[in-house]
C-alpha cells in the first residue's frame, strides 16, 4: 500500500466551483506539504504544516486554503476555482528530525486538476 495517497487522482471542474483535494499518509510524519506543478515551472509550495496545530503559507497560497484534520490528513481547498489553477497537485510528507537528520520528502501520486 502507498504511504502517501491523494484523492481524487483526476478532477475536472468549472470556474467558480469549490473543490477539495485530500491527502492521507501512513508514514507517521508530522510534516505535510502541498505543491503544484506546472509545465516548465517545477514545483511550487502552496502550504505546509509542521503538525496539526501549525499551518503556514508557502510561495503561492493565494486562492487556496488548507485543513490539517489529523496528523495523517491534510486537505487543500480551492474556494472558487479559476482556470489558471489548472495544474498537477502533489502532497508530500517529511520526517525532519533536526539538524543531524536532513529532510527528505515523500510524495503522493498527484492529482491532475482541470478548471474549465
Partner 1 sequence: SQQGEEDPQALSIQEGENATMNCSYKTSINNLQWYRQNSGRGLVHLILIRSNEREKHSGRLRVTLDTSKKSSSLLITASRAADTASYFCATDASSGGGADGLTFGKGTHLIIQP
Q: Which residues lie across from 94 on neighbouring strands?
A: 31, 105
Selected binder of partner 1 within 30, 52, 96, 114 (CB under 8 A): 96
| Site mask for partner 1 (CB under 8 A), range 14-53, x = bound | -----------------x-x-x----xxxx-x--x-x---
Whole-angstrom CA distances from 99 to 8, 55, 95, 102, 103 are 35, 21, 12, 6, 9
Alpha carbons 13 and 97: distance in angstroms, whole number: 39
Closest CA to 38 of 89, 80, 109, 78: 89
Should residue 109 be labelled a site residue for partner 1 when binding is judged by CB under 8 A?
Answer: yes
Number of residues counted as binding partner 1 (CB under 8 A): 31
- The number of residues in the chain equals 116
Should residue 83 be labelled a site residue for partner 1 when binding is judged by CB under 8 A?
Answer: no
Should residue 64 be labelled a site residue for partner 1 when binding is judged by CB under 8 A?
Answer: no
Residues found near partner 1 in the complex (CB under 8 A): 4, 31, 33, 35, 40-43, 45, 48, 50, 56, 58-59, 88, 90, 92, 94, 96, 98-99, 102-110, 112
Amino acid at each position: 500500500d502507498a504511504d502517501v495517497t491523494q484523492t481524487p487522482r483526476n478532477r475536472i471542474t468549472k470556474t467558480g466551483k469549490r473543490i477539495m483535494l485530500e491527502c492521507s499518509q501512513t508514514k507517521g510524519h508530522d510534516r505535510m506539504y502541498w505543491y503544484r506543478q506546472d509545465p516548465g515551472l517545477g514545483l511550487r509550495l502552496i502550504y505546509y504544516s509542521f503538525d496539526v496545530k501549525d499551518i503556514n503559507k508557502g510561495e503561492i497560497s493565494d486562492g487556496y486554503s488548507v485543513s490539517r484534520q489529523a496528523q495523517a490528513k491534510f486537505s487543500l481547498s480551492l474556494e472558487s476555482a479559476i482556470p489558471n489553477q489548472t495544474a498537477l497537485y502533489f502532497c508530500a510528507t517529511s520526517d525532519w528530525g533536526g539538524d543531524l537528520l536532513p529532510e527528505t520528502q515523500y510524495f503522493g501520486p498527484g492529482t491532475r486538476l482541470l478548471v474549465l
